[in-house]
């Protein structure tokens, strides 16, 4: 995975996106875009934490509990809430595979997005569609996703 920093890039693409916020969990179980487990970076898919009620964590591959895309970077246990986009157009990071325009997407490793197949299992995992894809196989490409959580 290419080390990609989202600070300075606007995650949200339009004003009518739907947002929410929550505190980052005290002990992260998921791995962030940077490969560590100490923060959630802007652009990372986030999930509800498995055991810390009301807190969020970085999403992993095939996460069922994706709640949105982080719009800021926060350290684990940070007392400030992290705002995340629940619906609308957002920039996301794809994994190392191609992500064609129009593809359904689901969560990949480290809070990335990957292509969701038409299988029954992936239908449950689909979080949106790729609006502006990338056929490059190098990881870390920015894509635009229409979230439909």
Mind listing the domains of the chain with CATH numbers?
18-86 (2.40.300.10), 89-148 (no CATH)
Q: What is the pLDDT at residue 3?
A: 44
- Say whether pLDDT at 48 is over 50: yes
Confidence class of residue 143 from pLDDT cuts 50, 70 and 90? confident
Beta strand pairing call for 18-24 and 55-58: parallel
**Which tokens sit at 114?**
């990957």
Distances in Å between the alpha carbon of 29 and those of 24, 41, 59, 96?
Answer: 11, 14, 9, 22
pTM beyond 0.85: the answer is yes
Question: How far are the Cα atoms of 50, 56, 90, 112, 149 from residue 140, in angstroms, in the given order?
Answer: 27, 23, 15, 9, 23
Asked if the model's pLDDT at residue 139 lies above 50, the reply is: yes
Name the pLDDT band for 138 (thresholds 50, 70, 90): confident
Average pLDDT score over residue span 113-140: 90
**Contact assessment for residue 41 and residue 73, using Cβ atoms and an 8 Å cutoff:** yes
Helices (H), 1-135: 120-125
């Amino acid at each position: 995975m290419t080390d990609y920093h989202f600070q300075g890039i606007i995650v949200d693409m339009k004003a009518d996106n739907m947002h929410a916020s929550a505190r980052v969990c005290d002990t992260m179980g998921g791995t962030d875009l940077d490969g560590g487990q100490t923060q959630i970076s802007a652009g990372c898919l986030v999930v509800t934490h498995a055991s810390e009620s009301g807190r969020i964590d970085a999403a992993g591959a095939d996460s069922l509990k994706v709640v949105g895309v982080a719009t800021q970077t926060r350290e684990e246990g940070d007392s400030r809430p992290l705002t995340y986009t629940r619906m609308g157009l957002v920039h996301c990071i794809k994994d190392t595979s191609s992500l064609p325009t129009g593809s359904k997407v689901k969560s990949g490793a480290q809070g990335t997005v990957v292509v969701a197949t038409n299988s029954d299992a992936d239908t449950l995992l689909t979080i949106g569609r790729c609006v502006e894809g990338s056929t490059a196989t190098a990881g870390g490409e920015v894509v635009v996703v229409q979230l439909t959580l």
